[in-house]
Each structure stands twice: as structure tokens, then as C-alpha cells.
Amino acid sequence: MDRTVGIDYGKARVGVAISDPLGIFASPLETVPSAKIIEYLQKIAASEKLICFVVGYPVNLDGKPAEAKADVDVFLKQLGKVFPNVPLVLEDERFTSVLAHRAMIDGGMKKSERRKKESVDKISAAIILQGYLDRKNRQ
């Protein structure tokens, strides 16, 4: 089945989300150590047809690339080499962590769970992916 993968890349951890087969909804999937993300994505690709990667791109409030841009650019090159036939889309990731925290509170998640950065990362990936899916489906 066709799936789009959302990625919130960080130097230590990567949040991963995946779309439903119709490309309507994004669901948080996992938080993976950065060193293992390519291997993890290859496992997903072995069972699902990946049609697109949506990667959160770090941008400052003034619209200029953030400091983390260099790390994301290195990751994007690796991703492009391993998955040359899967398109890459960059999505502004400003405020995704704030929105993830709000979603966890609104969803009734316990404070101890909300403190786990792994939870924030995978929910941020889902927010990044959902923004892309919503725009794509409106067009």
C-alpha cells in the first residue's frame, strides 16, 4: 500500500510518522536513534510502498534556516542516496514541538509521558506529515 512518511530529524533522535494508505491521516509511529534511522526506514520500505518522505526543515522565526539545518542537510543526502526514487518534500517545522505538547495535553497524556522527548518527536513528525497531507488533499 502507498504510504507517505513524515520525519522530524534531530541529532540524537528522529521522530517518524506514517500516513494511512489513502494519504488522509498521519499517525505517530516511532522515535528512532539518528544513527539507525536509515535502517529503520529500509524496514518500513520492505513492507510498504513509500511514495514520499516529508522531512521537517528547521527554520527560524524570521524565515531563515536554523542552526540545525546542517544536520538535516546531511541526513537528506543520505536519504536521497538510499531511496533515490522516493521524492523528498521539505516542510517548515516551526512550532511543531509546541503543537505536539498541546496535542499531548489535549489528548489527556500524563505529565510523566509528556516529559519524554521521544513522545514529542514522533508526534511532531505526525504534525509535519499532517500539514503536508492537508495541503496536498486541498489541491
Pick the residue with more confidence: 116 or 134?
134
Cell of 132: 503536508
d(CA 21, CA 78): 26
Q: Topology of domain 2-138, per CATH?
A: Nucleotidyltransferase; domain 5 (3.30.420)
Average pLDDT over every residue of 42-54: 97
Confidence of residue 74 (pLDDT cuts 50, 70, 90): very high
The reported pLDDT for the residue numbered 70 is 84
Residue 64 per-residue DSSP state? S
Question: In residues, how long is the chain?
Answer: 139
pTM for the model stands at 0.85
Of 7-11, 43-47, 52-56, 91-95, which range is least confident?
91-95
How many CA atoms lie less than 13 Å away from 59 in the CB half-sphere? 14
Averaged over 47-72, what is the pLDDT?
85
d(CA 11, CA 117) in angstroms, rounded, equals 13
Question: What per-residue confidence (pLDDT) applies to 54?
Answer: 97
